[in-house]
Structure formats: C-alpha cells, structure tokens
C-alpha cells in the first residue's frame, strides 16, 4: 500500500511540475529574446545563452560543477538554475546584467527544476527534503533581484 501511495505521490508531483514548467514557459516566451540551455561541451555541464535566432552565444557559467535547469525570470533580468558547486544540487539566481550569481537554497537534499512565479518574487522547485519528492517555494532575495 505504501508503494502504491508513493507512485501516486510521485506521479502527482511530476504532473504538477510539468504544469508549472509549461506555465513558466508560456509566461516567459513572449518577454525574453534569449534561449538558455545546459550543455556538456567540456568535462561538465555549463549554462549558455543565445539569441532566439541562434546567434550571439554566451557561456554564462564556467565551474568545475554541473549547472543545469536554466530558467529566465519573467522580466528577463535574472536566471535561476541548479548548480552542484559544493557537491549538492542547489538553486542559484544570476543577474544577467552583471553575470553575478547568488545561492538561493542551501540544503542537504537535492533542489531541482526551478520555476519562477509570474511576478518574479518566488521560485518553486522540487526537493526530497522530507524523504519524498515535494514542491517547495522560496522568495527571491532582494540582492538577487
């Protein structure tokens, strides 16, 4: 019975995250003239950004750790992403004007799949903090705005 409940919870979480991702993409698609993606061009995954026409490629991260799951804020001024900089996956926010990143989460559990709220004040993410995959939200700090 516990296993069945775990599958139902996992399925529900997955469906909800797909919905959040779809809503996030719809919110941002018309406002952001860039594409961000993660690519393993060297020994690890880094985040890159380019114009929607495929020109002006920029490498945004260059660490020994993996950086994945980039997502633009609704105003296009910031980007949330996941980094395993300290060996654990946490959410970071980069100011795209200065290219300075700030850690948003710091927990022993893995934090993944960031998704911005429409007003850019919150980020929802998936974590196993309670032993199962759950959705959490965190307010974006003022300095990361």
Q: Summarize pLDDT for 45-102 with one digit per residue, the tens.
A: 999 999 999 999 999 999 889 999 999 999 999 999 999 988 899 999 999 999 999 9
- Does the pLDDT of residue 6 top 60, yes or no? no
Decide if 140 contacts 104 (C-beta within 8 A): yes
Decide if 38 contacts 69 (C-beta within 8 A): yes
Q: Tell me the pLDDT tens digit for each residue of 115-145.
A: 999 999 999 999 999 989 999 999 997 564 4
- Written as six digits, the tokens of 55 are 């020109």
Distances (CA, A) of 136 to 14, 45, 73, 110, 130: 13, 25, 17, 12, 11
Domain interval for residue 27: 2-144
Domain count, the chain: 1
Q: Tell me the pLDDT tens digit for each residue of 11-55.
A: 555 554 544 444 444 444 446 788 999 999 988 999 999 999 999
Looking up residue 7, the CATH number of its domain turns out to be 2.120.10.30
End-to-end CA distance of the chain: 45
Q: Is the whole model's pTM more than 0.95, yes or no?
A: no
Residue 72 gets which letter from DSSP? Answer: E
């Amino acid at each position: 019975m516990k296993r069945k409940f775990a599958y139902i919870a996992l399925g529900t979480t997955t469906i909800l995250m797909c919905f959040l991702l779809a809503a996030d993409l719809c919110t941002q698609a018309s406002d952001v003239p860039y594409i961000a993606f993660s690519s393993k061009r060297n020994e690890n995954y880094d985040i890159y950004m380019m114009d929607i026409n495929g020109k002006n490629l920029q490498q945004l991260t260059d660490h020994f750790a993996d950086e994945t799951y980039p997502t633009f804020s609704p105003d296009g001024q910031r980007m949330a992403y996941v980094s395993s900089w300290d060996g654990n996956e946490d959410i970071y926010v980069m100011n795209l004007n200065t290219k300075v990143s700030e850690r948003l989460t710091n927990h022993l559990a893995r934090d993944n799949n960031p998704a911005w709220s429409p007003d850019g004040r919150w980020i929802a993410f998936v974590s196993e903090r309670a032993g199962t995959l759950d959705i959490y939200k965190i307010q974006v700090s003022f300095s990361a705005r």
